[in-house]
Structure 1
Amino acid sequence: MRKKTSLLLAAVLAGVSVTAQPPQFKPSQTQKPPLHGKNWMAITGKPLAATAGSAIFQKGGNAVDAACAMLAATCTMWDVLSWGGETQALIYNPKTKKVIGINAMGVAPTGATASFFKNKGMNWPPEYGPLAAVTPGTPGGLCTMLAEYGTMSLKEVLTPAMQMAEGYPIEAQTANAIEKNKDKIKEWPYSKSVFLPHAGEQREAPEAGEIFKQLELLATLQKMVDAEQVALKKGKSRKEAIYAAYDRFYKGDIAKEFVRGCQEQGGLITLNDLAKWKVLQEEPLTVNYRGIDVYKLPQWTQGPMLLQSLNILENFDLKAMGFNSTKYIHTLYQTMNMTFADRDFYYGDPYFPPAEPMKGLLSKAYAKQRSATMDTLQNDAKVAPGDPYPFQGETNPYLDLLHKTYAVSDKPVDDIYLDKQWRGTTSVEAADKDGWVVSITPSGGWVPACIAGHTGVGMSQRMQSFVLDAALNPFNVVEPGKRPRVTLTPTLALKDGKPFLSFAVQGGDTQDQNLLQFFLDMVEFGMTVQQATEAPNINTDQLYLSLGGEDRKPKPGSILLNVTTPEEVRKQLQKMGYHARYESRTSGPVNAIYFDWKHGSFWGGSSNHGEDYGIAW
């Protein structure tokens, strides 16, 4: 009997259809052990950065202080983001018992219009280089989080990152990415001087383990700390002093050098663009799924797509279907196709007209209508955006665009396509015994990054997430001062008014696909947080890519399945119109914290691949 039970447990982990078995069966062992902590927990995408967070906790900092230190450290390590990128965060404030959104997304600069790019023969803004840059958001986002909700000085929080900028042993992943992209890097003189210390040799990038120095970045961070320390000596408060550092970056000598270096290389960012830009504190969007309140940032991210998906899936008995059964996979795929179609057409910057129909999109009645239209027998290759306007008492002004022919791609999925769909960033998760919780998905300025002058700061590449044609999305057409609709999407969930889960993942358009399934693995199928991070996922390609290249159209029926998917399920899905590929890795590295109120402790989870992990106490 024990052997039979073990096989059933293994079957669930492998993605076998277990509809005939009690759905409470779940995997019993994970490749990575879960993290456990009582006082604090720090999880992120790089071991050195997790160490930075733990150092701040050990000095008495709260979860916001530690999260800022981890953010600063990951930005200094370049692989998936840099200091000129963007920061998106959710913070749970135990004093107010509210979730706060931090919008530190950069904006399109002066002159960045659809006609500007079209006149250059472009169908989309570029992937790389100075013209791909929105204004930097991470320095401002970090300063704002720290000033408003932290307890420590900027000097204390930036110390680990500054030590790393002075020289740290670079890991193979980043070193090899630099070598792979060195031809592109050579187009930009400031990037070349930083990334290619062995110029002219066979390997021009640093070697793994080599001490990688960024002295100009160190000088920039030192200027921010100096501005803070001067303000403190003048009697300014901790908060005022941190904002003095903020101002030096966006209005002082750092801003002047950033703009000079950007414009010298053909970029559009002006001093006025930097001075006018501000970090926004927002009220997140939320839905309740079976008694759990799930929070995402507003529609300038893809986050509401997960909320819409939960609303639709609430109309189905997922547990009865069985984990990764044919019916479950099909229901997930069709749901995500619907919500991605809405994302691709309706999401954009809420601070610019026209107003996105979010009340309708997030209404339970709209979700019920959408679920009723689902084809339960075949993949719907023509899923289009719905019409949420009647669900907020309005008439849709874009019906003519909705009724246009749904354009799809007939090109096969290849490595270039997958790179654009999975293009990584990192995530930062932190929590402490006093109740502070932070979830961040920062990004931008990844290798190959164009560095702005002598600042050592790599510029963002997020301009590519705009569209140039209103027929694709009338809410996300590029214009100066506007934020692109991004893939970056941290998540918090509360149950009974208390933190339940903090979770995020890297991976472009797959982020909310992975997070949706992670959440359901725990809530519907009873997995632990570590089991859920390792469980096999599916990915849909039936969406418009948010990043890079010309081939962005949806690929109907294209699906990624785990190699452990049983033959029976494979055959059934093929008959239903799916075109599958199989990989051992079907999810980006999910990082998560589960709050165990029964025992008064934290559980930490981090996927069983990649460098992501954490430290707890």
Structure 2
Amino acid sequence: MRKTLGALLVAAVAAMPLMTETVAAADTNPQPGRGDRLVGANFAGRSEVIAKNGMAATSQPLATQVAVTILQQGGSAADAAIAANAMLGLVEPTGSGVGGDLFALVWDPKTNKLYGLNASGRAPKGQTLEQLRQRLADRDAIPSFGSLSVTVPGAVGGWFDLHKKFGKLPMDKVLAPAIAYAQDGFPLSPFIGQGMARNIKRLLEQKDVEEVENLKKTYLPDGRMPEAGRVFRNPDLARTYSLIAKGGRDAFYKGEVAKTVDAYMKRIGGPLRFEDFADHTSTWVEPVSTNYRGYDVWQIPPNGQGIATLQMLNLLEGYDLKAMGHNSADFVHVMVEAKKLAFADRSRWYADPEFVKVPLQRLISKDYANERRPLIDMAKAGTPDPGKMPESHDTIFLSTADKDGMMVALIQSNYRGMGSGLVPDGLGFMLQDRGEQFALNPQHPNVYAPGKRPFHTIIPGFVTKDGKPWLAYGVMGGAMQPQGHVQVLVNMIDFGMNVQEAGDAARWQHDGSAEPTGAPAEGVGTLFLEQGIAPSVLEELKRRGHNAIYKPGTHYGSYEAIQRDHANGVYRGGTEMRVDGHAAGF
């Protein structure tokens, strides 16, 4: 009997297809040292996670566990997202924290509607453009670090806006896991431990950072650089979280936290003040979308860069990407050229709509894409200018889903890794340096102004199909984000990859487009490729004029996603195999 069962098992396994035909085309490059998967594409790092009652996908395992625990305690997907974000501010300070900003897209099953939240902060109201330029002397850009790059942190305001509208559990219960871990400590994970060491070393070398003793006290309590496996504690952050849990939003924006930041900024000569915190508000916004091959892809409008994703998809819809073959020379070329066109507009038109009239509907229209598409030359790399309009970089992403059908895509960041380098006295978190993204040219839509929101790189993504939620997803990493959003969507929609394979497939990243700060394009730029893209493709891209190179170790974005499988009544989760996170459900 044992022989018969063994023979049947061998025969069954032999008959099983290891991957679909469409995915096989993307999986032809050798991978030395790698074992063979028994299901799905061989390039996939792991299987997608499937669960019925709830799911979380984050960039750090402990944050995923915290989110799932909140869901199991009866919390909503919004509660779980807040809990995970608070946890990530502790365990992944290289990409997040309450010193930064937040954007979110929430599918509400009660109203069958997608909601957008812009919880980004504003420039100091007491500093004019002229005063800023005087402080910068002969510099032509806002420094990457130090007090002149700091804007009001919007994340905590975003938590309470999400909680008020969609929360179920009290906030003290939502924040309790992160508080406990901050007090008791946790072992640093590999990618984050490495990133903390690099960030701290860089920040300690920056002349623009006015004060570093608080940074050392918080992140180097024993004088040693962080590394994987070392237990890290942050009692100051535990205390800050406790203040927020007990005192609510006002504890941060009108209470002890705001007063501490005010005193700290006055001591080091920075422009941010208590009044900037007290006046801060988030904004509920209407998400904008385009339809790509029957799927409605949703983004938050500027001051973020999400509409670059929609512009790219509109351009690419005019090509048969599947016929080109996944990661072929034609495929990568047309994707990169679409990116350049979208980013030319990004550099010129994206800004805070409270201060300028953004030509939003024209930018994301099919007609505009049809006008711009002929600028793509399939034979050579281009350097496009922005289109004509009528007058008028490190982050965390997480996704959660609950038993009722609520799905959240939340992205949060301090910008440039850990942020400005400035840790206010006794608070346990670093202030963001998002203000670096302002332009200084008075004629530019994104020019610095008191109380204005800077251009933002962080973008959550959402997809609906036939009016139902299909995917809550994100790919964090500065200017890589729209590029990554498009790549994973094309992988799923055009090539039939599952939610995990779509993130694991080899990626490209183009750098060197003009910037919303006013920095010009760098010719054709540089096209970085992962080594899973064939050498013959690299050579052909070079022949077409791309400055294409393999660059192992480049951050090609970090991906998390939860897909809604309506046919089976389950969620399917995938996360970035390149770093530390994972998806889990129950």
TM-score over 0.5 for the alignment?
Answer: yes
Cα distance in 2 for residues equivalent to 1:377 and 1:189: 55
Out of 102, 105, 114, which is 1:99 matched to?
114
Pick aligned residue for 1:43 from 35, 57, 64? 57
1:251 alignment counterpart: 254
Give the aligned residue type for 2:354. Y
Q: Distance in 2 between matches of 1:589 and 1:148?
A: 28
Moved more, 77-86 or 87-96: 77-86
Cα distance change, pair 210–194 in 1 and its aligned pair in 2 (3 A): same
Matched, 1:582 2:554: no
Distance 2:211 2:255 in 1: 28
- Superposed CA deviations along residues 464-506 of structure 1, whole A, max 9, x for unmatched, are 11111145xx210011111111110100000011111110122
Please, which of 454, 458, 461 is the counterpart of residue 488 of structure 1? 458
Aligned residue for 2:118, secondary structure, equals: strand
In the alignment, which of 373, 376, 379 is matched to residue 377 of structure 1? 379
Inter-partner Cα distance in structure 1 for 2:238 and 2:516: 32
The answer for the alignment partner of 1:83 in structure 2 is 98
Answer with 563-572 or 343-352: which moved more: 563-572
Deviations 1:487-539 (A, max 9, x none): 10100000011111110122110011011010011001111111101011221
User: How many Å separate the matches in 2 of 1:136 and 1:364?
Assistant: 36
Kept in 2, the 8 Å contact 1:345–1:385? The answer is yes
Residue 329 of structure 2 corresponds to: 326
CA distance in 1, matches of 2:17, 2:83: 48
Equivalent runs, 1:539-558 vs 2, <5 Å: 539-545=509-515, 553-558=521-526
CA 1:15–1:325 in structure 2 vs 1: closer, same or farther (change >3 Å)? farther
SS in 2 for 1:475: coil
Indicate conservation of the 8 Å contact 1:500/1:594, yes or no: yes
Whole-Å Cα distance in 2 between the matches of residues 163 and 7 of structure 1?
Answer: 45
2:286 corresponds in structure 1 to 283
Shift of 1:346: 0.2
1:364 has 2:366 as partner: yes
SS of residue matched to 1:441: strand
Q: 1:602 pairs with 539, 555, 571, which one?
A: 571
Q: Give the Cα–Cα distance (whole angstroms) in 1 for the partners of residues 367 and 575 of structure 2.
A: 35
Distance 1:139 1:567, change over 3 A: closer
Match of 1:162? 179
Range moving further from structure 2, 87-96 or 551-560: 551-560
Question: Matches of 1:175 and 1:337 in 2, distance apart?
Answer: 32
In the alignment, is residue 444 of structure 1 matched against residue 465 of structure 2? no
What is the Cα deviation at residue 47 of structure 1? 1.1
Matches of 1:441 and 1:366, distance apart in 2: 29
* Percent of matched pairs sharing the same residue: 32
Matched, 1:261 2:233: no
1:206 Cα deviation after fit: 4.7
1:262–1:453 CA contact under 8 A, matched in 2: no
Q: Which residue pairs with 2:41 in the alignment?
A: 27
Q: Is the 8 A contact 1:140 1:246 kept in 2?
A: yes
Amino acid at match of 1:541: D
1:53-88: CA deviation from partner (whole Å, max 9, x where unpaired) = 011011111111100100111112312122111111
* Alignment of structure 1 residues 90-239 onto 2, 5 Å: 90-119=105-134, 120=136, 121-171=138-188, 172-173=193-194, 175-177=196-198, 180-181=201-202, 183-184=204-205, 187-199=211-223, 204-206=224-226, 208-227=228-247
SS in 2 for 1:225: helix
Distance 2:270 2:574 in 1: 40
Aligned to 2:498: 528
Task: Tell me, yes or no, if the aligned pair for 1:15 and 1:323 is still in contact at 8 Å.
Answer: no
1:542, 1:225 → 2: CA distance?
A: 43
Cα deviation, residue 178, structure 1 = 5.7
In structure 1, what is the equivalent of residue 489 of structure 2? 519
SS of residue paired to 2:26: helix
Q: Which amino acid in structure 2 is aligned with residue 500 of structure 1?
A: W
Distance 1:210 1:540, change over 3 A: closer
Equivalent residue runs for 1:3-18 within 5 Å: 10-14=24-28
Aligned-pair Cα RMSD in Å? 2.5
Q: 1:6 to 1:135 in 2, by over 3 A?
A: closer
Q: Contact (CA 8 Å) 1:181, 1:447: kept in 2 or not?
A: no
Name the CA distance, whole Å, in 2 between partners of 1:219 and 1:205. 23
In structure 1, the gaps of 5 or more residues are 17-25, 228-244, 390-395, 398-422
Q: CA deviation at 1:458?
A: 1.6
Q: CA deviation at 1:557?
A: 4.6
1:455-494 counterparts in 2 under 5 A? 455-470=427-442, 474-494=444-464
Output one character per residue of 1:317-364: Cα deviation in whole Å (capped at 9) or x when no partner. Answer: 222222122211111111110000001100000111x20111111111
CA contact (8 A) 2:512 2:524 kept: yes
Shift of 1:29: 5.9
Q: Return the alpha-carbon distance in structure 2 between the equivalents of residues 568 and 182 of structure 1.
A: 40
CA shift, 1:253, in A, is 2.6
In the alignment, is the contact (CA less than 8 A) between 1:341 and 1:385 conserved in 2? yes
How far apart are the structure 2 equivalents of 1:303 and 1:153?
32
Query: Tell me, which stretches of 5 or more residues in structure 2 are unaligned?
Result: 1-13, 31-39
